[in-house]
Amino acid sequence: MPTEAAQQAQAILRDAAQFQWYVIPLLALVTYVYAVEIERRNWNVVLAGLAFWGMDWFNEIWNSLVFHFTQYAPVWAAPGDTAYLLLIGLNIEISFMFFIAGVVFSKTLPKDPSVRILGLPNRLFYGLAGSVFCVFVEVLLNGANALTWDWAWWNTRAPWLILIIGYLPFFLVAFWVHDMPSMKRKLTTVGAIYGFDAACLVLFGVVLGWI
């Protein structure tokens, strides 16, 4: 039987009646962030940001599939107030945040990928630091019951799992795309991420109705 949080999220999943007008200025903010980087022709940051967002969609898809196959709970759910719940653990506010976050974190990278920080490659250091920050925010959201955890192995007693599975891949893939030597490789990689996400959404969402 689904948990209370899963049932609450299911009740508002893709319910257009939840719409709130603040989504429009959020959309304008996201558009502005990318427009600024495009104007500057800062393609490394633009594509890193898109890769970051695409990786989040991958996570949200498998999280939704966990709920489908267990009929108990997703690994995380977003049952709280929202203007639109896209997937059981992803509302539109979270999605917009991740859309911007990849740009923000990529802009903090040192120009030289070979520089080491505390003995670590700087891309790995920044990925770990960003992941720790995201886990901290998620813990706060969980404390406010805005983002819920129902599985015993996914909680504050095992934050390393949230860090390694929930966030670190976002950063490593985004930074990897950022540093690719050619635009062709960047576009191919980002296109592959989005192509896979789109195929999963069509198959598991539209065709099978699992998510």
Q: What is the pLDDT of residues 66-102, one digit of tens each?
A: 999 999 999 999 998 999 999 999 999 999 999 999 9
Distance between CA atoms of 211 and 206, rounded to whole angstroms? Answer: 9
Q: Which tokens belong to 128?
A: 């770990």
> In the prediction, which pLDDT does 143 show?
92
The CA distance from 53 to 84, in Å, is 17
Domain count, the chain: 1
Q: Which two tokens stand for residue 58?
A: 């991958």
Domain residues for the domain of 182 are 4-207
pLDDT digits (tens, 9 = 90+) for 104-131: 999 999 999 999 999 999 999 999 999 9
Report angle CA 148, 167, 97 to the nearest 5 degrees: 75
Percent of the chain at pLDDT > 70 equals 100
Instruction: Give the pLDDT score at 158.
Output: 87
Quickly tell me which residue has 């890193």 as its tokens: 48
Cα(125)–Cα(136) distance, integer angstroms: 17
Which pLDDT score, from 0 to 100, does residue 71 have? 96
Take residue 187 and report the two structure tokens written for it: 């576009």
Half-sphere exposure of 87 (CA within 13 A, CB side): 29
pLDDT, residue 157, reads 87
Over residues 52-65, the pLDDT tens digits come to 999 999 999 999 99
